[in-house]
Amino acid sequence: MKIRFCSGFTKPGFLLVHFDPPSFFAVRSRSLSDSTYGNLCNHKKIPGIGIGLTVQCAIANRRFSSRSVDSSPKRERSSRSSSGRDRVKDKGRDSQSLYSRPSLLEMNKEKAANRAKVYEFLRGIGIVPDELDGLELPVTADVMKERVEFLHKLGLTIEDINNYPLVLGCSVKKNMVPVLDYLGKLGVRKSTFTEFLRRYPQVLHASVVIDLAPVVKYLQGLDIKPSDVPRVLERYPEVLGFKLEGTMSTSVAYLVGIGVARREIGGVLTRYPEILGMRVARIIKPFVEYLENLGIPRLAVARLIEKRPHILGFELDETVKPNVQILQDFNVRETSLPSIIAQYPEIIGIDLKPKLETQRKLLCSAIHLNPEDLGSLIERMPQFVSLSESPMLKHIDFLTKCGFSIDQTREMVIGCPQVLALNLGIMKLSFEYFQKEMRRPLQDLVDFPAFFTYGLESTIKPRHKKIIKKGIKCSLAWMLNCSDEKFEQRMSYDTIDIEEVESDPSSFDMSTLMQPEREEESDSEYEEEENDEEEEFA
């Protein structure tokens, strides 16, 4: 079968052809002709069999159909006469054709005009729309005004919007309201929404079901308690944009690999969720290896992270390494660095040099401290660098009023820097007992200033009474600087020929740090780091 289409149309247009399924029947070979459109198809004569094929064509707004069946001259003439009538009818339908609608060019012009009005509105209120090109925006300025006003109600300013103008592409009903409702149901406080959106405005683009809910479920799978999830999101909203199998999973796996207890991961991430966004190769691993190279065992580093996970946020090259060098510049021995960091890891993350210079100047003035002795003082009590001026001066004044000279006070401060930070009320009670009941010379306290660090009721009084009852004459260090078990052994001695020497009470035993933490039940693992930094010596 051959079908030929003529190209001699008198009016250009689109040619649309629809074929009906063919049917087989016996016909005589005749050709279908049309005076207007020419021969559409010719049939070669197939003896006894013909193929019935219906062809419907539409050219622009003209339509006709033909069948490859027997056509009599009468039907042919009828076709010619009807085509003339069709032309008249087609002229009446021209006004309703596709081309009576706005053209694509006109639609684009209208769209550009509307966007120009929206841009004009934004510029009028101080928003720079340069980054909005290509972003789907409201058609009218009124709808855009509603979006801006909604963002203002959330606490965002024009400056905030300019920092992330793409937020204007979020629909209030379709994007913003569902996301904020979901966060509110989780427990994120409305009072934190403003800061939350300033830090992570991209959350307004997110899908609750596809993007947010899976992350929340993943956090709970890391043993973060449901009640703590809102606090985690408030502290680190960026976590909602992370891939589940990306940085989050690798950072957790590495911490467990170096010895952080699996049961502690939930608490670690609750207190410092920023870990979830840290890359192992660029941040966590170099930090851990640097501390190891200083002499801190890997397991001890793991325990430090369990207790103070925020130390992973210290900049290694910009803060940690310079602070280690500063400590050595202030006469801290290199061998003491592991002990110092283990006792007070914040010392490698603070602005250290100004603090040390201030403390040195203060003590040089108050007790005539030799600058070279500052290193020894730091080794015994690294927290000294963060003590405030006023409390230190009060403690120095207390010691001088007790009858100690400046030289004796300096010796006590160097030997036991804790005397600059202990509770003054407790120190006064201990000193009164020392004077009235123990009746020892002041020099005994100069030789062993750590006396003030022991509990009066729990340790000093009971041991002193046993010493008196036994009739033993000994130093304060021999009486106090030992465990209860060791003290009972000493009480069994008949005579004391040579006093046993214990280690410096202010020295730090690294092995104690590597002991596993006792598991404590708590309704919430969330703790403010500030409370940890304000520990009071008692």
Pairing state of beta strands 54-59 and 62-67?
antiparallel
Q: What does pLDDT average to over the chain?
A: 81
For the segment 40-65, the average pLDDT, to the nearest whole number, is 43
Q: What pLDDT, on a 0 to 100 scale, did the predictor assign at position 514?
A: 67
171 is written with which tokens? 């629909």
| 3-class DSSP assignment, residue 41 | strand
Give the separation between CA 74 and CA 195, rounded to whole angstroms.
86
CA distance 155 to 54: 69
In angstroms, the CA 503 to CA 89 distance is 114
Report yes or no: 235 and 491 within 8 Å, Cβ to Cβ.
no
Structure tokens at 383: 């927290």
DSSP 3-state of 25: strand
Burial code (b: 16+ CB inside 10 Å, e: under 16) for 243-279 equals eeeebbeebbebbeebbbbeebbbbbbbbbbbbbbbe
Report the DSSP beta bridge partners of residue 23.
52
Tokens 């250290």 sit on residue: 352
Using the 8-state DSSP alphabet, how is residue 530 labeled? H
DSSP state of 481: S
- pLDDT at position 516 is 60
The helix or strand, by DSSP H or E, that contains position 16, with its residue range, turns out to be strand 15-19
Q: Residue 22 forms beta bridges with which residues?
A: none
Asked if pLDDT for residue 294 goes beyond 60, the answer is: yes
Question: Tokens for 400?
Answer: 């001088």
Please tell me the total number of residues recorded for the chain in this structure. Answer: 538
Q: How confident is the model at residue 45 (pLDDT cuts 50, 70, 90)?
A: very low
* Selection from 406, 408, 445, 441 nearest residue 427 by Cα: 445
- Report residue 50: phi and psi, to 5°: -130, 155
Of 29-33, 223-227, 275-279, 464-468, which range is least confident? 29-33
For residue 73, is pLDDT > 50?
no
Q: Which helix (H) or strand (E) holds 466?
A: helix 461-470
d(CA 285, CA 491): 51
Q: Which two tokens stand for residue 269?
A: 């991430």
Q: Reply yes or no on whether the pLDDT at 448 is more than 70.
A: yes
Alpha carbon distance 287, 314 (integer Å): 9
Tokens of 312: 């992973």
d(CA 41, CA 69): 11
Residue 183 has pLDDT above 60, yes or no: yes
35-44, 108-117, 260-269 — which one is most confidently predicted on average?
260-269
The pair of structure tokens assigned to 354 is 């100004």
Of 222-231, 370-379, 516-525, the range with the lowest mean pLDDT is 516-525
pLDDT, mean of residues 309-330: 97
* Exposure string over 27-53, b if 16+ CB within 10 A, otherwise e: beebebeeeebeebbebeeeeeebeeb
Q: What is the pLDDT of residue 102?
A: 67
pLDDT for 60 equals 42
How far apart CA 66 and CA 150 sit, in angstroms, is 63
The pLDDT-based confidence of 100 (bands split at 50, 70, 90) is: low
Q: Give residue 206's pLDDT.
A: 93
- Assign residue 272 a region (left: φ > 0; alpha: ψ between -120 and 50; beta: otherwise): beta
Pairwise CA distance, residues 452 & 450, whole Å: 5
339/507 Cα distance (integer angstroms) = 8
Closest to 97 (Cα-Cα) out of 63, 73, 66: 63
From 195, 131, 117, select the one nearest 168 (Cα to Cα): 131
Euclidean distance between CA atoms 530 and 272, whole angstroms: 13
Residue 254, pLDDT score: 96
Q: Which amino acid is at 304?
A: L
Half-sphere exposure of 299 (CA within 13 A, CB side): 8
